Structure 1
Amino acid sequence: MKASPITGEALALYIHWPFCLAKCPYCDFNSHVRERIPSERFIAALKRELAHEAARLGRRRLTSIFFGGGTPSLMPPDGVAALIEEAHRLFDVAPDIEITLEANPTSVEIGRLQGFRDAGVNRVSLGIQSLRDEALTFLGREHSATQAVQALEMARNIFPRVTFDLIYARPGQSREDWRAELQQALTLVADHVSLYQLTVEPGTKFEGLFRQGKLDLPDDDLAAALYEDTIDIAGRYGLSAYEVSNYARPRAESRHNLTYWRYGDYLGIGPGAHGRLTLEGRMLATRRHRAPEVWADKVEAGGSGETSAEELAPVDRMREMLLMGLRLTEGVDATHFRQRTGHALEDALDAETLRLCVEEGYVEMLPQGGLKATPTGRMRLEAMLPMLLA
């Protein structure tokens, strides 16, 4: 059978696996702990939802696949292989497609790494979070620092691309502590690392502790100093901050996440997954049912667990594109901004606020009319953006 022609924008695919061994106290993701994980049912539902969406979207050019969670390394490798094979059947897959899977450094999950590589995964993201045992206990992690290092070394021998996460700005953490831990971590880096400041998210265990005065985070000055130290030390190891929390060597950036930050189209399937899709000239914000079993019921009944597909008004697209794009070191391209929002970049900005932000060194105008935030400005995006928009 002849394949249908490629249509529409290039596409990134996010596949959400909602199950975890335990719920981390800082995590606000849609993750669920189950005594027994019904893997077979959920993989079948993911395949069905993917086919349903492909029928709606047409044969798009697929540039990346990201298995996120939850803990997708709890999936059986043959289930991962089946989903990758289905994506190849339904879409026009780029020859250099990036296929990432998130994994934790527990013995159960690390034992599956070769199976994931055989399934077609070519980039693994390890949730290490810290190289200090006491910090791992505080963060509710199921692995030790020794296991984290062993997992990273094993992953580097299996996958062509490896990244991992660390969380800093923890209670009681000094600049000297973080600099030492970060330097140890960066000796293990291949080409990419994500370095996140600890934040208190609504609905998490840490939020309850924070409200009770039992969680003491670094003040703004110390947090800023830790961020500056992070950029400085990562740079010494050849990794540049291409986004607020992400560092990479040249051409090793996460292609999937760049789709989000550059405001491209992405399809999210699985419980609670979000998407941004261009259909017939409209941009839709899509959302799936969060409860895993209810989502699966909906997919089995009608092919999709989608609960909403709302058209984004121009002002919403402008706000989202600026919020995402200004996180990037490269900033927001003026031509691309007009293509995605229907408006000129300068029309979206309050002229007086923009002038003040330039004077204060928070943003810079680019030669072709684009806009980027400085390192100082990227730390203030959430406060700055509402004032910057016209």
Structure 2
Amino acid sequence: MLKEIEVILLSGMKFIHAADLHLDSPFSGLKDMPSSILKELRESPFKAFQTIINEAISRQVDFIVLSGDLFDGENRSLRTQVRFRTEMEKLQQHQIPAYIIHGNHDHLSGSWITVELPDNVHVFSGQTEVKRFEKIDGTTVHLYGFSYPRRQVRERMIETYIKAEGADYHIGLLHGNLEGNSEHSPYAPFSLKELAAKDFDYWALGHIHKHQVVSEDPLVIYPGNIQGRNRKESGVKGCMLIEFDGDMKRHSFIETSEVIWESETIERSAEGGFDALFKQCKEVIERKGFDGRSFLLELKLDAGDAAGASGEYLEELTRILQEEDQGESFVWVYKIKLIQSIPMNRSNESISPFLAEVSRLASEFDDTEAALAPLYIHPGARRFLDSIEPDEHRELLDDAERWLFHVFEANK
């Protein structure tokens, strides 16, 4: 009996899975930000990566896997590569290997001066291959993956993942898009059915920047990116700790984000003047400050039926809040947005038939993607456009509905 327990314990495996590091992300477009905060923001992806390395060492993991887009661009800088190598050398000192695939952002066809990495780093080539890891106790793992040979890989690369017998565990590294997700580039597409058919123990995915446990059986996870880079990448970011113990599989999320993008809604009454609103904003900022972490904050003012706040007014309020002292952990208000409710009841038959029809169409419209398609295929515009998230679809419709209502009211 004791012998059986010993075998089970020896068959355990523990590793960290991260993806979409985007080291050297430029963080452009944030105006009026103090240089100290901008510097902290630009440094945040690398600090998040250092957190991963420190966690790997302190938790004594067997190895780490990085599932693509380590660098933000195909022409990675020498400084970033050298800093990355330094972190890999830290792992080497603790005999922790790193298994890496490159994605669409840091594909193998980019132009850069190569920096030699230590022997504990294993980078997958442009064709799907298998790498073998073996623990001191004899437990073995086969890791499967490929690096993007070019920026766009639209083939079903999942078909090239062939299970090689002779290992206790099988882990697939794949930087690609799960079918049915239309919000991201359809690179290296795959279905959950295809993943399950491979009979792997774990799929270490990359490409989608939002943490998502796609499936528990088989265990399939997008860890998300390690640091939010814009308002669409809001909330806490991090990596995954994966533990195998015989047939048991456990996963837990490790927070890594140095700066968190968030939005807060403030309900504002029609009677409240500037001082009341200023106090409400300050209370939100102070509450965030008690957290001890740094935030980039969007404030949404729910004004009910009363507007009372022009764009100029909101910009000035934003600047006043930005002038508040910032400590080591900052709360920087980068935008204040007015959310003005439409003063009509969709179920009220007494409202204008025109407005009732606008409201009905807005509530039923579900083809925003098709409506925006001309912009995304335009050769001049598509270079500057990111994918639209579902909540942004709704926000666009709400803004359009409010605009039509006010135009109608003004011309009655």
Regarding TM over 0.5, the answer is no
Greater CA radius of gyration, 1 or 2?
2
Larger relative contact order (Cα-Cα within 8 Å, sequence gap ≥ 6): 1
